[in-house]
A and B are shown apart, each in its own frame.
Chain A
């Protein structure tokens, strides 16, 4: 009886915060810490795939070049294989002929992935309102960050990369959004099919 009493009083003396701390340490905190560490690591070691087609590609060279040095943001390991990269930088005009290639390469990139549309042409077709120019790559693939300019200055590109880092830290990606939309549409279609068969 006396032992029991002592236990009850000990439990009573513990504050709400102590219980909360227990829960956090055991369950929530470790997960969120790991997630945070993952995102932190990811955002500071981006491996860009430069889908460079035109003038913007020359400016992108300047971004990774000695003066602007993208390695300060951990985004200098340029990889020409989509399998090895998580950030696609579309630097240049995308034409109708190029669009299926772009789509295919984007699909080959491993998840999670982010996309920067660098410059006016990739974002909207730019001043080429023409029969062979895609009026913005978002027609074919989801885009995370649009960088204005024709071509954008290297500073603008660096800011674009920093915005991607922010998005990664917040766990936001246009790819996920588009996938959710697609899945929802798929579910809806499946549900419709089910009701129609009944």
Chain B
């Protein structure tokens, strides 16, 4: 599906014609080699304004049709960059001959945020990056092999005998006197502030953190490997458990990616319902973040207030599908089911109540001197935030006006009235304020959409994705065949790749999906917003008190489900 090119595309095409430039599904694609990667990246960053690195990941091509291979080499390192002014995304594919010891130059010199992404690519595929240590990130340190390679069996477990000991590398710049004053403490993974799954090894002097190492992967549930073994619609329950505080948003992100790939336009009613669910889940996600973050600072009361509101939304979800937390509400091509009678009225009532009640949370916290002093820590500048690949409330708190709902309005976001709150300092207090305001704006959106809810079908009538009504299945042969094909062969997007992003509660949730035309996705890479944000944590808490680190952790809203996947 070659789309119409705008002037920017022409410029890109002219500059990168030697790199077999193409443009598909709103993504620009170019090929680079390990030799010219850094030149290409420099050019993209400086001349074309691709100032944010969204994602780096590996791909194993060995079971793909040869025509899709990049230059006959098994592995690929794939980069996704974002130009925030023009809202353009580009994919750079670099073939890597891992078996012959080819090493990819690291793009850490352009973006600090490449750090963990490159480590993960080594962990999962064994792709080496120049000057980077080969450290496990998501799997444990005794793990052998690279699990996302196609020849690694999905159910091959490798038990771990002993946890990784706390350790730091010897640093020659630390004098023996200084070293004498320092000691090592271990925070997490089972610690109330680390939510059970993050581990921080800290070297402290008094109460000040001098150095820290982060250990993640305690909730690495192999989402991407599981996707490769399931049908496209079966992946939806797995996406529920990425950011489990706001499940519907992940469902929407996944389904949107597949729909874009298949060129399916979902009905207006489905679009509107998805917006309602997305905004409701943004509210409950922020409620957990604010409530749990305040608990970490010792304020239990606001947590009860937040959770009371969350329960109201749970009730709405329960009426809709029977589940409270992991809802799987969408299907490829629309929604899972029609609204029950009276749901809209209930929802409007709940919106009214929550709008009123979050002001109570506001009164409890916003001007509370202890809360203000504890959270006005660890500021981050806009440049640094972009360097690290921040998105979502944390980026906007640093003063960058970027929200996909405004920059590239999908569904009906261009038709509803809402504003994007922007912070100034980028500290935790600003993040809190941004989240509070986003909740108000989200409730406003829900109100507007529900008051103008379009009628019509809730699911697309496209035969490639949607089972025909029972009556047709039983009475005519076409319906019967259609039903049979969908059940037996599943949804099958055409051969190709897509990177599709939506604005989730924590920031840009991107799905990079490769289809080989089969019934299972060939490769799925999630670009989780937390991952990019949390990798900066070590630098953010350097020379800060331990208590500030705890506050920072609450403000970043790290959800292990999408961090470790």
Q: How far is the CA of A93 from the CA of B314 in the complex (A)?
A: 22
Q: How far is the CA of A64 from the CA of B159 in the complex (A)?
A: 33
Name the interface residues of A18-75: CB closer than 8 Å to any CB of B.
50-55, 57-59, 61-62, 65-67
Which A residues are in CB contact (< 8 Å) with B189?
98, 101
Partner of B326, one of A55, A104, A129: A55
Q: Is B307 touching A62 in the complex (CB atoms < 8 A)? A: yes
Q: Is A66 touching B304 in the complex (CB atoms < 8 A)? A: yes
Number of interface residues of A (CB under 8 A): 38
Q: How far is the CA of A57 from the CA of B189 in the complex (A)?
A: 14
Q: How far is the CA of A99 from the CA of B189 in the complex (A)?
A: 11
Interface of B: prevailing SS = loop
- Does A160 sit at the interface, judged by CB under 8 A? no
Q: Is B159 touching A99 in the complex (CB atoms < 8 A)? A: yes
Q: Is B196 touching A51 in the complex (CB atoms < 8 A)? A: yes
Which A residues are in CB contact (< 8 Å) with B237?
127
- Does A150 sit at the interface, judged by CB under 8 A? yes
Q: How far is the CB of B355 from chain A (nearest CB, A)?
A: 19
Interface string of B153-172 (1 = CB under 8 A from A): 11111111111000000000
Q: How far is the CA of A80 from the CA of B314 in the complex (A)?
A: 27
Q: How far is the CA of A98 from the CA of B199 in the complex (A)?
A: 11
Q: Is B222 touching A97 in the complex (CB atoms < 8 A)? A: no
Interface string of A121-135 (1 = CB under 8 A from B): 000000111111111
Stretch at the interface among B37-45, B213-221, B343-351: B213-221
Q: Is A93 touching B221 in the complex (CB atoms < 8 A)? A: yes
Which B residues are in CB contact (< 8 Å) with A66?
304, 307-308, 311
Q: Is B196 touching A53 in the complex (CB atoms < 8 A)? A: yes
Q: How far is the CB of A64 from chain B (nearest CB, A)?
A: 9
Q: Is B221 touching A132 in the complex (CB atoms < 8 A)? A: yes
Q: How far is the CB of B151 from chain A (nearest CB, A)?
A: 13
Which B residues are in CB contact (< 8 Å) with A67?
307-308, 311
Number of interface residues of B (CB under 8 A): 51
Which A residues are in CB contact (< 8 Å) with B161?
100
Interface of A: prevailing SS = loop
Q: How far is the CB of B464 from chain A (nearest CB, A)?
A: 26
| Known A53-B196, A92-B219: A132·B560 in contact at CB below 8 Å | no
Which B residues are in CB contact (< 8 Å) with A97?
139-140, 160, 217-218, 220
**Residue ID in chain B nearest A49 by CB atoms:** B190
Which B residues are in CB contact (< 8 Å) with A151?
324-326
- Does A187 sit at the interface, judged by CB under 8 A? no
- Does B226 sit at the interface, judged by CB under 8 A? yes
Q: How far is the CA of A18 from the CA of B147 in the complex (A)?
A: 75
- Does B245 sit at the interface, judged by CB under 8 A? yes
Q: How far is the CB of B250 from chain A (nearest CB, A)?
A: 12
- Does B197 sit at the interface, judged by CB under 8 A? yes
- Does B191 sit at the interface, judged by CB under 8 A? yes
Which B residues are in CB contact (< 8 Å) with A80?
190-192
Q: Is B217 touching A130 in the complex (CB atoms < 8 A)? A: no
- Does B483 sit at the interface, judged by CB under 8 A? no
Q: Is A96 touching B160 in the complex (CB atoms < 8 A)? A: yes
Q: Is B308 touching A58 in the complex (CB atoms < 8 A)? A: no
Partner of B288, one of A58, A95, A104, A130: A58
Q: Is B159 touching A96 in the complex (CB atoms < 8 A)? A: yes
Q: How far is the CA of A104 from the CA of B161 in the complex (A)?
A: 12
Q: How far is the CB of B329 from chain A (nearest CB, A)?
A: 15
Interface string of A71-103 (1 = CB under 8 A from B): 000000000100000000000110111111100
Q: Is B190 touching A51 in the complex (CB atoms < 8 A)? A: yes
Interface string of A108-143 (1 = CB under 8 A from B): 000000000000000000011111111100000000
Which B residues are in CB contact (< 8 Å) with A130?
154-155, 221-222, 225-226
**Residue ID in chain B nearest A99 by CB atoms:** B160
Q: How far is the CA of A57 from the CA of B222 in the complex (A)?
A: 19
Q: How far is the CA of A80 from the CA of B550 in the complex (A)?
A: 15
- Does A173 sit at the interface, judged by CB under 8 A? no
Q: Is A101 touching B190 in the complex (CB atoms < 8 A)? A: yes
Q: How far is the CA of A54 from the CA of B139 in the complex (A)?
A: 17
- Does B95 sit at the interface, judged by CB under 8 A? no
- Does A163 sit at the interface, judged by CB under 8 A? no
Q: Is A61 touching B196 in the complex (CB atoms < 8 A)? A: no
Q: How far is the CA of A128 from the CA of B153 in the complex (A)?
A: 13
Q: Is A52 touching B196 in the complex (CB atoms < 8 A)? A: yes
- Does B69 sit at the interface, judged by CB under 8 A? no
**Residue ID in chain B nearest A150 by CB atoms:** B326
- Does A105 sit at the interface, judged by CB under 8 A? yes
Q: How far is the CA of A52 from the CA of B195 in the complex (A)?
A: 7
| Known A100-B161, A101-B190: A53·B310 in contact at CB below 8 Å | no
- Does B244 sit at the interface, judged by CB under 8 A? yes
Which B residues are in CB contact (< 8 Å) with A133?
157, 221-222
Which A residues are in CB contact (< 8 Å) with B304?
65-66
**Residue ID in chain A nearest B153 by CB atoms:** A131
Q: Is A132 touching B222 in the complex (CB atoms < 8 A)? A: yes
Which B residues are in CB contact (< 8 Å) with A131?
147, 152-158, 222, 225
**Residue ID in chain A nearest B312 by CB atoms:** A67
B residues with CB within 8 A of A: 138-140, 143, 147, 152-163, 189-192, 195-197, 217-222, 225-226, 237-238, 240-241, 244-245, 288, 292, 304, 307-308, 310-311, 314, 324-326, 560-561
Q: What 3 A-B pairs come out closest when comparing CB atoms?
A: A130-B222, A55-B244, A65-B307
Known: A55-B244, A127-B226, A130-B225. 16 other contacts (CB 8 A): A53-B560, A62-B314, A65-B307, A93-B221, A95-B217, A96-B139, A96-B143, A97-B140, A98-B218, A101-B189, A105-B190, A129-B154, A130-B226, A131-B152, A131-B157, A133-B221
21 A-B pairs, CB-CB below 8 angstroms?
A: A52-B195, A54-B241, A54-B561, A62-B314, A65-B307, A80-B190, A95-B219, A96-B139, A96-B143, A97-B140, A98-B218, A100-B160, A100-B161, A100-B162, A100-B163, A101-B189, A101-B190, A101-B218, A104-B163, A127-B238, A131-B147
